[in-house]
C-alpha cells in the first residue's frame, strides 16, 4: 500500500500536510489523482472555529469536498470511465438503503458519508489529498473542462438544488443576499432558470463586481442600510429570496423586500438565527431550507460542459498544497478573494 499527502485539520488553525495510506480500487471503485480542490465556507468554519453550529471537530479530519482529478486506476466492473480521464468527484455518498434514500431524498440519507464532515463520529474524512479511492458512481466525466472548472461542480450543485426548492423561476424577480461563491453561482443559476430580475447584495466591492459580470441586473452594498429601500415599497418586490450569507442581519434586512406569498430559500449556514416570523406571517411568505444535493451534481457538470453556466472566472486565487494554510487565510478575506482553490 502506498501513501499520499493529505491536508489534516487537528484543531482550529492547526492544518497539517500529512501522509495517508492509499489503497487499490476495489470492485466499483476508481483511484483518482486530485488536481484541484476548492475551499468551501464549511472548510473555513472548521479551519477558523473548529466547526459550525453544534457540529464540532472531535478528532483529526482531512478537509475538503470540492475536488476534481484524473482517473489513475479502475476497479473491477467499472465502465463508463477511462484511465487518464478528468472527472469531477461528488462528495455525496448516500447509503441508498435507508428510508430517506428509498423516498428519493438522498441528501437526507441517515447514513450519509459526505466528504469532510464532522457531523458523525468517527468523522467522514475529506478529499483534500493527492490521491483518493472513490466510488465510480461519484465520478462524472469532465470532458474539456479545466480542473479548476470541474472542481466547481459541487457548489454549483448546491445552487441547482436550491433553485429546485424555489420552484419555477421563469419571469420571477430574485434577490440573492451574500455574494460569496454560493451567492455568485445562485445568481447564474437564477438567470439560467429564466428569472427576469436578479439583484445581489454584499458587503464588499469585489463580490459585487463579480455578480454583475455573472448576470445580476443590479448589485447593492449591504453596508448601506437603505440599499433595499427601492424594492421594499408596496409590501416588497421580490418573488424569491436566496439567502446565502447565513447572517441574521441579511435575512432580517431582506424580508421587507420580499412580496406577499414570496419564498425564502435559506442556503447560508452560519448558526441559528432569529427569524422575523411575524413579518413573514403577515405577508404569507414561505420559508424553505436547502441542504446539500445529490442528482444535481451531474447536471452541474453537464451545464458547465455545454457552456451554459460559466464558473472559471470565479476562481480568483490558487495556491499549491504546500501553501494551503496561506490559502485558507486568504479564502476568508472577502475583499480579496471570490473563490480560492488548492492545486494538488
The per-residue pLDDT for 75 is: 96
| pLDDT mean over 99-126 | 96
How distant, in Å, are the alpha carbons of 97, 114, 171 from that of 100? 8, 15, 33
**What average pLDDT does the structure give for the chain?**
96
Q: Can the peptide bond before residue 36 be classed as cis, meaning omega within 30 degrees of 0? A: no
- Binned at pLDDT 50, 70 and 90, residue 343 comes out as very high
**Partners of residue 124 on adjacent β-strands:** 117
Q: Where in the chain is the domain with CATH 3.90.180.10?
A: 2-152+311-343
How distant, in Å, are the alpha carbons of 23, 48, 229, 294 from that of 325? 27, 11, 41, 30
Tell me which residue of 297, 344, 343, 339 sits closest to 39, measured CA to CA. 339
Q: What CATH class does 2-152+311-343 carry?
A: alpha beta
- Binned at pLDDT 50, 70 and 90, residue 65 comes out as very high
Question: pLDDT tens-digit profile of 122-181?
Answer: 999 999 999 999 999 999 999 999 999 999 999 999 999 999 999 999 999 999 999 999
Q: Where in the chain is the domain with CATH 3.40.50.720?
A: 157-289
pLDDT at 88 over 90: yes
157-289 carries CATH number 3.40.50.720: yes
The per-residue pLDDT for 332 is: 86
Question: pLDDT tens-digit profile of 277-295?
Answer: 999 999 999 999 999 999 9
Contact in structure between 109 and 116 (CB atoms under 8 Å): no
| pLDDT mean over 333-344 | 94
Amino acid at each position: 500500500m502506498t501513501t499520499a499527502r493529505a491536508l489534516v485539520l487537528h484543531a482550529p488553525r492547526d492544518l497539517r500536510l500529512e501522509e495517508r495510506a492509499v489503497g487499490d480500487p476495489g470492485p466499483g471503485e476508481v483511484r483518482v489523482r486530485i488536481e484541484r480542490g476548492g475551499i468551501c465556507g464549511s472548510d473555513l468554519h472548521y479551519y477558523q472555529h473548529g466547526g459550525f453550529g453544534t457540529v464540532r471537530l472531535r478528532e483529526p479530519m482531512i478537509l475538503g469536498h470540492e475536488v476534481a482529478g484524473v482517473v489513475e486506476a479502475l476497479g473491477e466492473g467499472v465502465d463508463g470511465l477511462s484511465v487518464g480521464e478528468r472527472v469531477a468527484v461528488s462528495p455525496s455518498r448516500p447509503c441508498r438503503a435507508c428510508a430517506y434514500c428509498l423516498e428519493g431524498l438522498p441528501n437526507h440519507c441517515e447514513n450519509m458519508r459526505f466528504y469532510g464532515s464532522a457531523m458523525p463520529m468517527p468523522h467522514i474524512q475529506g478529499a483534500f489529498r493527492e490521491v483518493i479511492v472513490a466510488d465510480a458512481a461519484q465520478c462524472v466525466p469532465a470532458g474539456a473542462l479545466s480542473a479548476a472548472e470541474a472542481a466547481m461542480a459541487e457548489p454549483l450543485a448546491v445552487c441547482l438544488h436550491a433553485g429546485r426548492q424555489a420552484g419555477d423561476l421563469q419571469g420571477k424577480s430574485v434577490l440573492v443576499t451574500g455574494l460569496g461563491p454560493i451567492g455568485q453561482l445562485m445568481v447564474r443559476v437564477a438567470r439560467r432558470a429564466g428569472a427576469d430580475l436578479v439583484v445581489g447584495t454584499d458587503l464588499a466591492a469585489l463580490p459585487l463586481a463579480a455578480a454583475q459580470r455573472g448576470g445580476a441586473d443590479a448589485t447593492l452594498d449591504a453596508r448601506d442600510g437603505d440599499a433595499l429601500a427601492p424594492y421594499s415599497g408596496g409590501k416588497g418586490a421580490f418573488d424569491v429570496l436566496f439567502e446565502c450569507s447565513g447572517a441574521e442581519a441579511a435575512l432580517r434586512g431582506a424580508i421587507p423586500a420580499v412580496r406577499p406569498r414570496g419564498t425564502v430559500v435559506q442556503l447560508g449556514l452560519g448558526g441559528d438565527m432569529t427569524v422575523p416570523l411575524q413579518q413573514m406571517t403577515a405577508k404569507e411568505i414561505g420559508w424553505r431550507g436547502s441542504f446539500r444535493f445529490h442528482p444535481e451534481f451531474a447536471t452541474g457538470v453537464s451545464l458547465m460542459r455545454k457552456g451554459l453556466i460559466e464558473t472559471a472566472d470565479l476562481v480568483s486565487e490558487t495556491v499549491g498544497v504546500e501553501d494551503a494554510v496561506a490559502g485558507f487565510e486568504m479564502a476568508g478575506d472577502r475583499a480579496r478573494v471570490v473563490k480560492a482553490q488548492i492545486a494538488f
